Structure formats: structure tokens, C-alpha cells
Structure 1
């Protein structure tokens, strides 16, 4: 064992001693992650989404028949889930 002195930084946590006790902070750890991601100069926002994105659909149907089939399949899945949920409640 070796005495390394007063604890200042351990496992990503900064430790500061004050007259009221110990203060723990992860500021340095978070700044290191932000720096590695290349986002050190980024501005904070209230939501992590792009504003005014023009929200493209993930699936593009080739025909109206295919669109109706996808809709019907999704509805069937939801109805089967609802039926099993009601069965769990014995309704």
C-alpha cells in the first residue's frame, strides 16, 4: 500500500473538502466525455431534437395497397396485444 495523499479525484469523481464536509462533483468527467465527442463548443438546448426538421416517414410504401396492408398489420398487432392485456385482467 502507498499513501497518495489527500483524495482529489477517483473513478471520475472530483472530491473537495470544505469546513461543512466533502463535496463530490462529476464535472471533470463530463467535460472529458464532451471533449472526446467534439461537442465542447456546443450550446445547450432545452430539447435534444432538431428544430423545424421536415419529421420524413421511416417507411415509404410503393402503392396504396401496400400502405393499407401495413396499416392493417399494425392494427392487428395492437388488437392482439390489447386482447392479451385484457385476458391478464380476466376481462
Structure 2
């Protein structure tokens, strides 16, 4: 019985630690997409760093689209091409 309780406690601790990884908040800042500038402004393919940042900033994209200053950059044809290349769909906000 004592070993069962220890195993149950160990499993509970592992579940709590695994769940805490998903609770990391994203800082929404358009400057985080700076690795994508070359791809957004030319026909250059996106770098791995660009795709990584774009995936990280995915929860922020609607906020950028709603911002009149940023919308033209986030919804431009090149930005859409970069999003497709990186596997990050442009959200419908």
C-alpha cells in the first residue's frame, strides 16, 4: 500500500510539471517577428528563425491584424506566403 501511494504521488508530480510547460505566456510584440523582415519584404524564403518566431507569435496575429499600423504588413501577399511556408495559417479575426 505504501509503494502504491508513492507511485501515485510521483505520477501526480510528473503530471503537474508536464502541465506547467504549456502555461508559458507569449509576449505579443511585433519586433519578435524581426527575423521575418527579409521574407516579408522580398521573395526570400523564410528562415527557420522566422518560422519559429511566427509560430510563437501565432496567438498575437489577430491583434496585429486589428492594428491599422500593422495590418498591411501582416496581411500582405508576401506575409501570407511566409505564413503558408511556415505552416502558420493567417487567422480569420
Q: TM-score, normalised by structure 2?
A: 0.23
**More helix by proportion, 1 or 2?**
2
**More strand by proportion, 1 or 2?**
1
Larger Rg: 1
Q: TM-score, normalised by structure 1?
A: 0.24
* Larger RCO (alpha carbons 8 Å, 6+ apart): 2
